C-alpha cells in the first residue's frame, strides 16, 4: 500500500500518545437534563479527543468532520489557513523544524494525522467516519486515511453538490461540488440506507430467464380486475408473458375466495410469497391475468455517489439562509454545511440511539442534524461536538440552544420553527490528569475523571465497567472501580492524604466484593508479599504505575 511522507511525519505519527489526558470541566448544562450525553467541548480538538477516550473509545457509531480545506482563505470566521496561530504554535512544539521549512501541505498533514488517529480509536467496530474535503487536499487525505483506517476499509467517495452559483474565483473552472470520503472501522456487509424507494408502478412477479415453478396463492391474497365471477383454469397472460392457472378461481368483490395455483417463471419461492404477504405486500392481477406486486414499504436504496436535491440535500446557499433565520442576522458563519447533508449521512448506518461525533464543529450543524432526526422519529441519538475557536459559545452552542428552543418569527409564508427540545453540557478543557512538571498525579484534577482514566488504562475499556460480571452486581465499596475479567479494581485515593493498603482497609470488604483477583491502588502497602499472594491481591502504587504506556 503506498504511503505518504512529508516533513514532520516522524514526529506526529505517534504524537497522539504524548498528548496529555485532560479533565473535561463542565461549565453549564442547557436544558433540564445534566449528563444527557450531548456534549459541546471548547478547546483544542486533539486534546478534547484524547479526553474522550476513557469513556468513549470504541463507542462512536458515526463521525462526520469538516476540517480545514487548506485553501489559504483568511476571511472566514473559521480560518482554514494552516498558518493560523493556534496551529503554528502547536506545530512548533512538536515538529522541531522551522515552520518556514514546511510547506502548507506539510503543516496540514501534521495537523490532521494525530487527530484522525484518535478518531479511529473512538469509532465503534461497526462505525464509520465521513470527511468533507475539496480538491486542495483530497489526494493527501485519501493517502493518510488509507494508512490510518486501512485501505481495505475505504467505503467510497461521494460528491456533494454544494452550490448552484459558486463564486467566480477561478478563470478555469467553477467548483459546484465538494467531496466526502467514507471509511469504516472494519469493512462489513451492512447495506447503507439512502433515500426511501417509492414505486409508482407495480413490479413484475416473473422473469423470462427463471425456471418454471408453481405458486399457491392463499385465499384473499390476489386483487383481480374482475369484480365477481369465476376464472377457469387455462393459459392466460400475454404472448410475451404467458401465465398458466391450474385451477378454477372464484372471485368475490375483486378477491379470490379459494386458493389459486399458478405456474410460471416466478421470481419468488413459496416461502418468499408467504413472507411478502406477511409484510402486507399486495398481489395484483391484470385483466389478462398478468401477476405483479407492490410492497407497502420498500427498503431504502443504497445512496448514490452524487448527493444533491434529488436525495433531499440542500446547498450551502440554503444552509446560509437557514443560519440567518436561526440567528436573525446575516454573515454569522460563511459556507456552513446543511443539516440535511449530515442527516442524510447519519442515516446511512445509525440507529436511533447512536452517538455521533464532530470534532470540527464550526457552526454546530451536526448537532442540529441529530436534533432534527430525533424530533422526526422519537430517537435518542447523542451528539458530541469539539470546537477550538472562541465562537464555540456564541455561535456553536448558541445555535444548538436556539434549535432546541425554537427559532424564527412567524410570517405569512413561513411559520416559526418549533424547538426540538433536548439538553446539552458545555465543557472547557481543564486540568491535566498528571502534573506536567512532575509527572505525578495532579491533585487538582477531578477525582471521578481520574477514576475513569485509571479504569481505561487498566482494562482498555470505557468507564464504567461494561462486562457481564460488573453489570450483574454493584459493589458498595467506596473505592471500587469495577470488575474486568473476574478481577476487582479499587482506587484507594484521597486528595491531599496518603493512603495505605493494610488490614484495616481490607476489613472494609464484604462478601459482595468477592473476586478471583484484587487489583488495589494506594500510596503505600504494609502487607507482605506472602499475604498478598495468599489473598490474591496485586498492589499498585499511586501514581507510578497508573500512567498508561
pLDDT tens-digit profile of 437-465? 777 888 888 888 888 888 888 887 777 65
Q: Does residue 99 carry a pLDDT above 60?
A: no
pLDDT tens digits along 319-338? 999 999 999 999 899 889 99
Question: In terms of residue numbers, what domain contains 248?
Answer: 203-294
In the structure, what pLDDT confidence band is assigned to residue 122 with cuts at 50, 70 and 90? very high
Q: Which three cell numbers stand for residue 305?
A: 455517489
Pair (50, 175) in one structural domain: yes
Pair (170, 49) in one structural domain: yes
Pair (406, 464) in one structural domain: no
Contact by Cβ (8 Å): 490, 479: yes
Pair (335, 187) in one structural domain: yes
Pair (389, 351) in one structural domain: yes
17 is a domain residue = no
Pair (47, 171) in one structural domain: yes
Least confident of 108-117, 138-147, 343-352, 403-412: 403-412
Pair (315, 426) in one structural domain: yes
- Choose among 338, 361, 339: nearest CA to 78: 361
3-class state of residue 236 by DSSP: strand
Q: Does residue 363 carry a pLDDT above 70?
A: yes
Q: Does residue 539 carry a pLDDT above 80?
A: yes
Pair (70, 176) in one structural domain: yes
Q: Which three cell numbers stand for residue 109?
A: 498533514
Buried b (16+ CB within 10 A) or exposed e, 313-351: bbbbebbbebbebbbeeeebbebbbbbbbbbbbbbbbbe
Pair (397, 486) in one structural domain: no
Q: Does residue 208 carry a pLDDT above 60?
A: yes
448 is a domain residue = yes
Pair (264, 347) in one structural domain: no
25 is a domain residue = no
In the structure, what pLDDT confidence band is assigned to residue 96 with cuts at 50, 70 and 90? low
In angstroms, rounded to a whole number, what is the distance separating the alpha carbons of residues 444 and 446? Answer: 7
Contact by Cβ (8 Å): 312, 195: yes
Pair (181, 142) in one structural domain: yes
142 is a domain residue = yes
DSSP element (H, E) containing 118: helix 104-122
User: Residue 183's beta-bridge partner residues?
Assistant: 129, 154
- Choose among 66, 40, 16, 31: nearest CA to 316: 66
E strands along 197-322, which residues?
A: 203-204, 213-217, 222-224, 229-231, 234-237, 242-245, 249-252, 255-256, 260-264, 282-285, 291-294, 306-307
Q: What angle do CA 251, 257, 260 make, to 5 degrees?
A: 85
Alpha helices in 294-385 (DSSP H): 316-327, 339-349, 365-377
Pair (397, 441) in one structural domain: no
Please provide the average confidence, as pLDDT, over all residues in the chain.
Answer: 88
E strands along 57-192, which residues?
A: 60-65, 123-133, 154-161, 177-184
Q: Structurally, how many domains does the chain consist of? A: 3
The mean pLDDT of 249-269, rounded to a whole number, is: 95
The CATH number of residue 319's host domain is: 3.40.50.150
For the four alpha carbons of 222, 225, 229 and 230, in that order, the dihedral sign comes to negative
Write down which residue in 263, 294, 325 finishes a domain.
294
In the structure, what pLDDT confidence band is assigned to residue 97 with cuts at 50, 70 and 90? low
Which pLDDT belongs to residue 77? 44
57 is a domain residue = yes
Amino acid at each position: 500500500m503506498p504511503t505518504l511522507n512529508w516533513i514532520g511525519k516522524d514526529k506526529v505519527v505517534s504524537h497522539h500518545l504524548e498528548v496529555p489526558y485532560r479533565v473535561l470541566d463542565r461549565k453549564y448544562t442547557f436544558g433540564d437534563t445534566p449528563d444527557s450525553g450531548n456534549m459541546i467541548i471548547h478547546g483544542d480538538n486533539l486534546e478534547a479527543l484524547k479526553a474522550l477516550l476513557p469513556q468513549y473509545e470504541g463507542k462512536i457509531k458515526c463521525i462526520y468532520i469538516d476540517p480545514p480545506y487548506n485553501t489559504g482563505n483568511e476571511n472566514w470566521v473559521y480560518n482554514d489557513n494552516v498558518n493560523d496561530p493556534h496551529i503554528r504554535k502547536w506545530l512548533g512544539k512538536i515538529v522541531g523544524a522551522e515552520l518556514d521549512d514546511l510547506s502548507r501541505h506539510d503543516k496540514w498533514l501534521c495537523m490532521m494525522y494525530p487527530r484522525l488517529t484518535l478518531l479511529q480509536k473512538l469509532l465503534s467496530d461497526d462505525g464509520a467516519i465521513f470527511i468533507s474535503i475539496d480538491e486542495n487536499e483530497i489526494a493527501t487525505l485519501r493517502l493518510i486515511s488509507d494508512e490510518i483506517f486501512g485501505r481495505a476499509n475505504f467505503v467510497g467517495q461521494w460528491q456533494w453538490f454544494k452550490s448552484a452559483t459558486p463564486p467566480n474565483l477561478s478563470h478555469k473552472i467553477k467548483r459546484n461540488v465538494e467531496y466526502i470520503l467514507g471509511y469504516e472501522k472494519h469493512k462489513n456487509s451492512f447495506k447503507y440506507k439512502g433515500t426511501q424507494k417509492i414505486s409508482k408502478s407495480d413490479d413484475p412477479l416473473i422473469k423470462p430467464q427463471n425456471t418454471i415453478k408453481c405458486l399457491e396463492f392463499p385465499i384473499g391474497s390476489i386483487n383481480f380486475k374482475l369484480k365477481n365471477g369465476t376464472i377457469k383454469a387455462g393459459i392466460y397472460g400475454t404472448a410475451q408473458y404467458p401465465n398458466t392457472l391450474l385451477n378454477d378461481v372464484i372471485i368475490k368483490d375483486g378477491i379470490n375466495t379459494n386458493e389459486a395455483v399458478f405456474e410460471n417463471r416466478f421470481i419468488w419461492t413459496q416461502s418468499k410469497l408467504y413472507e411478502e404477504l406477511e409484510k402486507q405486500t399486495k398481489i395484483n392481477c391484470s385483466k389478462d391475468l398478468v401477476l405483479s406486486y407492490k410492497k407497502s414499504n420498500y427498503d431504502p436504496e443504497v445512496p448514490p455517489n452524487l448527493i444533491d436535491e434529488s436525495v433531499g440535500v440542500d446547498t450551502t446557499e440554503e444552509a446560509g439562509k437557514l443560519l440567518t433565520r436561526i440567528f436573525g442576522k446575516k454573515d454569522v458563519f460563511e459556507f456552513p454545511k446543511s443539516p440535511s447533508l449530515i442527516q442524510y449521512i447519519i442515516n446511512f448506518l445509525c440507529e436511533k440511539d447512536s452517538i455521533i461525533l464532530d470534532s470540527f464543529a464550526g457552526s454546530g450543524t451536526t448537532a442540529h442534524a441529530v436534533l432534527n432526526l430525533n424530533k422526526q422519529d422519537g430517537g435518542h441519538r447523542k451528539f458530541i461536538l469539539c470546537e477550538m475557536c472562541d465562537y464555540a459559545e456564541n455561535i456553536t452552542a448558541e445555535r444548538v440552544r436556539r434549535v432546541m428552543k425554537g427559532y424564527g418569527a412567524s410570517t405569512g409564508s413561513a411559520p416559526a420553527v418549533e424547538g426540538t427540545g433536548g439538553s446539552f453540557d458545555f465543557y472547557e478543557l481543564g486540568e491535566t490528569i498528571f502534573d506536567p512538571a512532575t509527572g505525578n498525579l495532579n491533585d487538582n484534577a477531578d477525582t471521578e475523571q481520574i477514576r475513569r482514566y485509571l479504569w481505561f488504562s487498566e482494562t482498555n475499556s470505557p468507564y464504567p465497567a461494561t462486562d457481564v460480571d460488573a453489570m450483574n452486581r454493584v459493589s458498595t465499596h467506596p473505592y471500587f472501580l469495577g470488575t474486568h475479567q473476574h478481577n476487582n479494581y479499587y482506587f484507594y485515593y484521597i486528595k491531599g492524604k496518603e493512603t495505605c493498603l493494610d488490614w484495616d482497609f481490607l476489613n472494609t470488604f464484604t462478601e459482595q466484593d468477592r473476586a478471583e483477583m484484587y487489583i488495589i491502588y494506594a500510596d503505600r502497602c504494609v502487607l507482605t508479599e506472602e499475604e498478598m499472594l495468599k489473598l490474591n491481591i496485586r498492589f499498585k502504587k499511586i501514581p507510578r504505575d497508573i500512567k498508561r504506556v
